[in-house]
Amino acid sequence: MRSSTWPNVSDRRLYLKAAEELRPNSGQWAAYESEGHCVVIAGPGSGKTKTLTTKLARILSEDVQEPRGVACITYNNECARELEQRLDALGIEPGGRVFIGTVHSFSLTQIILPYAKVAGMGLPGDFQVATLQEQRGALERAYDRVIARGEDPHRFWRLRMDRYRRSHLKRDTAAFREQDAKCAELVVAYEEELRRAGLIDFDDMPLLSVRALREHQWLQDAIKAKYPVLIVDEYQDLGSALHQMVMGLCFSTGIRLFAVGDVDQSIYGFTGANPVLLERLSQREDVETVRLRLNYRCGSKIVTASQYALGEERDYEAPEGAEEGTVFFHPVNGNYDGQAGYVFDTLIPDAMARLPDLRLGEVAILYPAAWIGDAVANAAQARGYATIRADGNAIYPRSSRLMRWLEQCGTWCCEGWKSGNPRFSRLIDEGCRVFAESLTSEESRLDFQRALMRLLWEHRENAMSLHDWLLSVRHEILRELFAGSRTLADESDTLDAFILKTAPGGANEEMTLGQFCGHGEGNNRINLTTLHSSKGREFRLVVMFGMDDGRIPRPNPNERETREARRLFYVGFTRAEEEIHMLHSANNPSPFVIELAERLEE
């Protein structure tokens, strides 16, 4: 759980100053001034996070009286961290009046843990959150009961089952039973296997919460009493369960809604996200809909070209006086290894000659799949370029709450204790949120604070072995905290896997603490990420690598898949501030690239 609170009245100046910066933009100002339900349709680079956080600060200061607060639901932990950083700049310190976190975290901490028994959710008092391995075992047992055809259930059924669960919230309807009868049987059997083992998984969290809210008016009233305002970020990505939760809480109980999203950036259909839900919400008569048209991120030519990339006309534009920006096309022969060599031998050196102040950390290479990124990473390493990956083949998941907290602890050890960035109090607050189940008393939190201070103070050295540092933290701080938590088993496994990578003989045995947390030599690194993982980020120069037919879109796509691939292409395109480079096989460009080039030549 993530939470923050408004500290004192004098800090009103911070959000009032931020609000004045919104005033010249009519869309941002209308969102800030909204009083009822409001949906903000925010295009790329439109300042939506600044608008959202300034609005949240105003609501917290002017509209919601203590001890009541605001709940802010985000798509993932990365989004939650960015919001926390922005709110910190507005003077909002950690506390208890604001929840900031994912829909799964909200469901677990605000509904399931406090109300599971009284709401009759059918869970044992000591239920656990299933690890990935436990989920695999439950699926295998369910498959043997229901299908047993000799297929690999993880390869052929897992994604199909997960999408079906997220799309059908009610198990007692004809639609659930009949639309895909065999998948429905597998869903029921899988959930039964989890319950027999006293487990729930992450998809269970919003599903159980929506059912409980639907069945118990008193539960809706309890949530409203605590959080009279609900803020939702990236609404288009959050799927049916969140939409049903919003419908029940905001349009039945009366919680006020402030939602931000963009149908054009809906790229997670494989998880059950449905952009139509945001469209329907924005079209309600009792909702004020505001559009943010100005793109402050991209050069004016890139803003214009982005509409060609999307394949649909929009009225987005760059603000007056914006730089133009440039779009480059690079048809390259050879396989991905050869094309990756071209990036580091030719494309990047030419760009750095053209932009002499360009830093490697301002460069990103985006690709359709993580395995394509392996060719890019290998080529970079062979030529001495430092990189940092944010895809499925990264050295550890960038979305891990625990690993990002450890990065911050490492930063404190690497001169952060001198500069006060991060503040030690922030490390304690975030640690208490990560290990909320274990740190349940004031005494336990104080013991945690003392132990963490002692350990970090004794390990203040950029060049020390990361392996040694991680082992010390694991054994002296985290071991007992993991033992007291039922939700962090996968995080524990992630840490242990990374410790093995940094051990003698491991792939990252020479990594130092400074390299881990981004301090010291070699940390001005080129960003490598999939198109999906690039969402929400921005870079001066972007290379879209592997833009080939059959990669984007995939082979033989249906209409829905083509539209989503087009949106994914658009998301990658709009990460660029100054230069966007399309790199593709010379004889097999994506149809999106062909159309983009043709439109730019008109």
**Would you say 45 is a known binding-site residue?**
yes
Reduced to 3 states (helix: H, G, I; strand: E, B; else coil), residue 70 is strand
Reduced to 3 states (helix: H, G, I; strand: E, B; else coil), residue 197 is coil
**CB-CB contact of 36 with 46 (8 Å):** no
Q: What share of the chain is helix, strand, coil (3-state, %, to 5)?
A: 55, 15, 30
Q: How many whole angstroms separate alpha carbon 471 and alpha carbon 496?
A: 9
Residue 446's Cβ-side half-sphere holds a number of Cα atoms within 13 Å equal to: 3
Query: 41: which 2 tokens?
Result: 């349709």
Query: 460: which 2 tokens?
Result: 């203040």
- Tell me the C-alpha to C-alpha distance, in Å, between residue 44 and each of 210, 537, 552: 31, 10, 20
- Closest Cα partner for 344 from 519, 510, 538, 545? 545
**CB-CB contact of 195 with 171 (8 Å):** no
**CB-CB contact of 575 with 364 (8 Å):** yes
Say how many C-beta atoms besides its own lie within 10 A of residue 297's C-beta: 21
**Would you say 506 is a known binding-site residue?**
no
**Would you say 47 is a known binding-site residue?**
yes
**Would you say 17 is a known binding-site residue?**
no
Say how many C-beta atoms besides its own lie within 10 A of residue 353's C-beta: 9
**Would you say 529 is a known binding-site residue?**
no
Question: DSSP assignment of 15-58, as one string?
Answer: HHHHHHHHTTSHHHHHHHH--S-EEEEE-TTS-HHHHHHHHHHH
**Would you say 48 is a known binding-site residue?**
yes
Reduced to 3 states (helix: H, G, I; strand: E, B; else coil), residue 66 is coil
**CB-CB contact of 203 with 168 (8 Å):** no
- Closest Cα partner for 546 from 516, 596, 584, 510? 584
Q: How many whole angstroms separate alpha carbon 529 and alpha carbon 572?
A: 10
Binding region for ATP? 42-49
Binding region? 42-49
